[in-house]
Amino acid sequence: MNAEQFLSLAETLRSFAQHSGRDLNAANLFVHTMLMRAIETDAIEAPKREDERKAA
């Protein structure tokens, strides 16, 4: 997911929580948790390609 999709998800969940009487903090926590997982996944270095290994 990109940043725009996360913001859209967050806004949708906040709106749903407000209109349905659900816990707004739970919606915010869910989006935060998913964003942090995405950031941690992106932080992992991608495997090097064969031509990059040969050059090193």
User: Does 52 fall in a domain?
Assistant: no
Contacts of 38 (CB under 8 A, 6+ apart): 1, 6
Q: Rounded to an integer, what distance in angstroms lies between the CA atom of residue 29 and that of residue 50? A: 41
CA distance 31 to 9: 7
Per-residue pLDDT of the chain (56 residues; tens, 9 = 90+): 677 887 888 888 889 888 898 888 888 888 888 888 877 776 666 667 776 656 65
Classify residue 25: in a domain, yes or no: yes
> Whole domain around residue 13: which residue ranges?
3-44
Helix and strand tally (H, E) in the chain?
3, 0
User: How many domains, the chain?
Assistant: 1
Residue 54 falls inside a structural domain: no
Distance between CA 27 and CA 56 in Å, rounded?
46
Domain annotation covers residue 53? no
